[in-house]
Amino acid sequence: MMVASFSEFISLSSPQKTPLQDLKTGFMVLNMGPQHPSTHGVLRLELVTDGEVVVECIPHLGYMHRCFEKHAESLTYEQTIPYVDRLDYLAAMNSEHAWAMGVERMLGIEGEIPRRVEYIRVLVCELNRIASHLLAIGTYGIDIGSFTAFLWCFRDREHIMNLLEWASGARMLYNYIWVGGLFYDLPPGFEARSLEFADYFLPKIDELNKLLTHNAIFVARTANIGVLPLDTAINHGISGPMLRASGLAYDLRRVDGYSVYPELEFDIPVGQGGKGTLGDCWDRYKVRVDEMAESLRIIRQCAERLLKEGRPQNFDPRAVCPKKSRPVHKEYYVRAENPRGELGFYFVAQDKKDIPFRVKSRGPSFCNLSVLPELCKGVLISDVVAILGSIDIVLCEVDR
């Protein structure tokens, strides 16, 4: 386009004022993830926003499908344990415990498991529970903006990683709890080191409370945010710390009383609405902090009983051979209290075969994530980060 003069050019290039009544607002779609530091894995959140307010939150899954259930239908019950590790890789001991316990009950050999094996299983599972909660709390702190809490949690988590590596030879994917027993007995001195860790870590929980739990900025970002009413939690199949934070003392270690948990003393922390509304992000965080203290009580009791009983001579942690047994139950469902909630396995056995016909996994992260659209309606975009972090998901368990 040709212009006659410089003044005409200036008039054409200057911004035009639009009448206020002609300005129109509308919804905007914002993608958070799948490569986003606040999504705790390969998760895509499609946010429909009106300005800074979230109108709708739509989770998109399937970026990390593990094919676990098809693997389980092609391998023996014992060979599947390394794949169970990779469901919730932050709590592999707890996942192994659920799988092994389910197969043992289905085969009818649960009563043959030595008591020492049961105490060792609970000991390593509670150590792994604390390690999982430390990672959840540390990454949640850095989501909100507290870098020091992240460093402190990972510092203490390293002690547990060293203990579990000492017992199993691996730091994350342990393959330690086997059907019928354990991969190997605890190394000499493990019980005493576990007691030393309990003495060391209990004061660290108080330090964490001073640094993060009662921090004014952290409370402002989490209290009264993402409130989950109890009836909504039950209707969505929520379990674990998320359900207990809404006020229901429901813990499978007490409800089902599996392994040696009925013989141990521990409390079930529940949400109190201490800083805001019952069932908010702060309550979900605080329940995990309190659960770490209860896990320390369990660790101490298991370690002391193992020390009191002493190390038996010629103890074989793999004395029960599952290959000599045939399924007592054609179909069986087992569940256990994973750090994120109810982890369940539904088995359909085959006669004269040690390979299951069908295995269905019930991952707590998948069910807990289903309530995210409800929690994110009408919140600010910045609050979506706080709400998602309070759920504590593991995407490998979501996609399975």
114 phi, psi to nearest 5 deg: -60, 150
Matching residue, tokens 């379990």:
239
Helix and strand numbers (H, E) in the chain are 16, 8
For the chain, give percent helix, strand, coil, nearest 5.
50, 10, 40
Identity at 242, one-letter amino acid code: M
| Residue 33 neighbours by CB distance under 10 Å | 19
Q: Which helix (H) or strand (E) holds 214?
A: none
Whether residue 142 is contained in a domain is answered as yes
Whether residue 119 is contained in a domain is answered as yes
The domain tally of the chain equals 1
Band (pLDDT 50/70/90 cuts) for residue 383 is very high
Ranking 68-72, 217-221, 267-271, 347-351 by mean pLDDT, the lowest is 347-351
Whether residue 244 is contained in a domain is answered as yes
Supply the range of the domain harboring residue 214. 30-399
DSSP letters, 58-103, are EEE--TT---HHHHHTTS-TTTTHHHHHTTSTTSHHHHHHHHHHHH
| pLDDT score recorded for residue 9 | 43
Residue 360 CB-half CA count within 13 A = 6
pTM for this model (two decimals): 0.91
46 and 58 Cβ atoms separated by less than 8 Å: yes
Whether residue 281 is contained in a domain is answered as yes
What CA–CA distance (Å, rounded) separates 164 from 327?
A: 32
Q: Can you give the CATH number for the domain in which 257 is found?
A: 1.10.645.10
Look at residues 302, 380, 291 and name the one whose alpha carbon lies nearest to residue 338: 291
Whether residue 3 is contained in a domain is answered as no
Preceding amide of 356 cis, omega within 30: no
pLDDT at 3 over 50: no
**Which residues does residue 47 pair with via DSSP β-bridges, in sequence order?**
30, 57
Whether residue 126 is contained in a domain is answered as yes
pLDDT at 17 over 60: no
Band (pLDDT 50/70/90 cuts) for residue 12 is very low
Ranking 139-143, 263-267, 321-325 by mean pLDDT, the lowest is 321-325
Whether residue 15 is contained in a domain is answered as no
Residue 32 CB-half CA count within 13 A = 22
Identity at 78, one-letter amino acid code: E
| pLDDT score recorded for residue 5 | 53
Whether residue 6 is contained in a domain is answered as no
158-213 pLDDT per residue, tens = 999 999 999 999 989 999 999 888 998 999 999 999 999 999 999 999 999 999 99
The Cα-based distances of 227 to 46, 59, 119, 216 in angstroms read 21, 19, 37, 19
